[in-house]
Homo-oligomer: A and B are copies of this chain.
Amino acid sequence: MYDVARIRQDFPILSQPHPSGKPLVFLDSAASSQKPSVVIDAMTNYYRTQHANVHRGIYALSEAATHAYEAARDKVKSFINAEQREEIIFTSNTTGSINLIVQTWGRQNLENGNVVVLTAMEHHANIVPWQILAAEKGFQIKYIPVTSDYLLDLEVFERILSEGNVKAVSVGHVSNVLGTINPVEHIIERAHAFGAIAIVDGAQSVPHLPVDVQALDVDFYAFSGHKMCGPTGIGILYGKRHLLEAMPPWQGGGDMIARVTLEGATWNDLPYKFEAGTPAIAEAIGLGAAVDYLQGIGMEAIHQHEAELGVYARERLAEVEGVQCYNPAPPYASGVATFTLEGVHPHDLAQILDYEGVAVRAGHHCAMPLHREVLCIHASVRASFYLYSTREEVDTLIACLQVARQRFL
């Protein structure tokens, strides 16, 4: 049995009073999740008893730190079922992971005449890095459109592929606005059939669903620690070994070299080739604790819980006059409800909800093209659920929406 009350006790912030005096109803986990005590304590404990710089320190403290840091890599490897630990690279966040791919694989492999396929529902992190390189290299970006059901238009995708010259397809596994769970397995298979590599932005999937990079046969997979109960300051890039081996390094500095002379340098082995400088040691350790914690509960159970809450929330939202939701139907839906309320601007709505202790996100959620060019709105309100979210919190949200409507109309 999924015991949400017990899970909530693991998260100190959930029992903190909100400034309004009301209980905190935190419905913005898609932006960044809260942290369980085990994660906070792992980092605190590290700093209090174990901190030293990692790698090549020949003393007990440094070896303990190195061991803990590398153990976190092994945990992440198992969590997403990567084949080898060398395929797990620690970065600063999902954004950093995608920029790494674009600036190394992309800079090495893309040129004028090539096509990179993205989607119209991407987060800016999976659009802007490509646009920056495209401006320099002259390759073309094509976007898979979004249907009126909030799904990717796979027929257009097929047409784009058949038009030729596609070198990479990069898609979000789960949309951070619509909550759409995209058919990435199919997309990867089609990309490969046309000789393109497949990159998946997993920022909204790894925290919420079981992910198996080998089963997906994905080439690169990017995600963030802070959205999956882990700390800020750390991201992850999974890459297939043969691709990572062939790529030039991105950042230069300590730890990523084998040898440096005044004339030039040679590179260290994977994964270190891509980890220049002192890494986010405490953050990796916190992330490892987060992985253990999530695995203890079970990703399938978490997904189930959130999907149910999503269904319930959208049902209840439909009862509120003037609400329009922007989410697909199951099985493509996840634990996200995104909506507008007629006559009340999303920013005002978020502010009024906050007075009641309800934290939701309002704005374009770093997906301006989706809002302006697909949904034809400037902003929306998003309530996003996580393993600690409850039906009662959905009820509070709905009650507060009714109050807000009254006040504004």
A residues apposed to B, CB below 8 Å = 12-13, 16, 18-20, 24, 26, 28, 31-32, 34-35, 39-40, 43-44, 47-53, 56-62, 92-96, 98-99, 102-103, 120, 123-125, 127-132, 135, 141, 143, 224, 226, 231-235, 248-257, 259-262, 264-265, 276-283, 347, 350-351, 353-354, 358-363, 366, 368-369, 372-373
Contact = CB atoms under 8 A, between A and B. Distances in A.
B124 A253 contact: yes
Contacts of A234: 233
A58 B358 CA distance: 11
A354 B59 contact: yes
B48 A277 contact: no
A20 B232 contact: no
Contacts of A24: 61
A121 to B, nearest CB: 11
B264 A135 contact: yes
Contacts of A58: 347, 350-351, 354, 361-363
Q: What 10 pairs across the A-B complex have the smallest Cβ distances?
A: A95-B277, A128-B252, A233-B233, A233-B280, A95-B253, A254-B366, A125-B253, A31-B53, A59-B354, A32-B53
The complex is assembled from copies of this chain, and their number is 2
A59 B232 contact: no
Contacts of A282: 231-233
A132 B278 contact: no
A9 to B, nearest CB: 13
B51 A277 contact: no
29 contacts: A18-B61, A20-B60, A28-B52, A32-B53, A56-B363, A57-B359, A58-B351, A59-B350, A59-B354, A60-B359, A93-B277, A94-B277, A95-B254, A96-B251, A98-B253, A99-B253, A124-B257, A125-B254, A127-B260, A131-B264, A132-B252, A226-B278, A226-B281, A231-B233, A232-B278, A232-B282, A233-B280, A260-B369, A283-B283
Nearest to A252: B128
Contacts of A368: 257, 259-261
Given A95-B251, A99-B276, A57 B28 contact: yes
A40 B31 contact: no
Contacts of A132: 248-249, 252
